[in-house]
Every structure is written in structure tokens, then in C-alpha cells.
Amino acid sequence: MTIEIGTPALLFSATSLILLAYTNRFLTIAQIVRGLKKTYDQDRNKSILLEIKNLNLRLTLIRYMQLFGVLCLFLSVFGMLMLFLEQQAVGIYLFGFSLLSLLISLGISFWEISISVTALRLHLSDIVEEESSKD
């Protein structure tokens, strides 16, 4: 099997956009955590503490998503270098590992989104219970 030097470059645009999305998620959650911490320092509400712990887990997952996304990009570039230096086998393996890194990153992203959806459903459950008790 042989691949051209441009094949690993196909991951550049996708990986760059994914990393941008991960960074935006990180910044949004960090802002929410800062606001919740202020509220927790004033009220010492246990539900806020649980929400902060949930967000802390999500921040950790986003860090790993970013790590594997950057690793994907790094391995793609390194694979291109090996292909440029006519090291076909090494280039192919590096490209394969870059694809694996991207898959891991996307898998962790799915996990983080699942946690987010569960947390939002719990957050909204109070409203749903109030509405159903009115009926």
C-alpha cells in the first residue's frame, strides 16, 4: 500500500475545525465554572457544588479531546515529512496513528456531549416536574 504526501494533509482542515470547536467549548465551560464558583462562595449550595464537579469532569475530557486532536495533527505532519523523505512505511503508520488519534478524540467528544445532555436534563427536570404537577 502506498499513499501520496497530500493524503495526510486531508486531516488538516477537519482537525483544525475540531480543535476550534473544542477550544470554544472549553472557554464556555470555564466561564460558567467561574460564575458558579462565585455563587457557591456566597451560598454554599450543594447542587451548585455538584454542577461544578460535573463541569470539572467535562473540562478534563475536553483537555483530552484537545490532546488527541493535536496529536492527530502532529502525526499527520510527521507522516507527511516521512513521505517527503520517501519513508513510505513509516509515513503510512504515522498516518494510521493520526487517524486513530482523531477517532479517540471524537469518542471522548461523544462522551463529553453525553455528560452535558444528562446534566441539562437533570437541570430541567425541576421544570418538567412542576409542569406535570400543575396538570
What digits encode the pLDDT tens for the residues 29-58? 999 999 999 998 998 888 888 888 899 999
For residue 13, give every residue at least 6 positions away whose Cβ sits within 8 Å of its Cβ, in sequence order, or none: none
pLDDT at 135: 62
Classified as helix, coil or strand, 9 is coil
pLDDT at 120: 85
Mean pLDDT of 124-134: 73
Tell me the C-alpha distance between 67 and 21, whole Å.
13
pLDDT at 27: 95
What is the SS3 assignment for 27-70?
HHHHHHHHHHHHHHHHHCCHHHHHHHHHHHHHHHHHHHHHHHHH
**Secondary-structure breakdown of the chain: helix, strand, coil percentages, each rounded to the nearest 5:** 90, 0, 10
If pLDDT is split at 50, 70 and 90, which confidence band does 28 have?
A: very high
Question: What is the value of pTM for the model shown?
Answer: 0.84
Tell me the C-alpha distance between 50 and 55, whole Å.
9
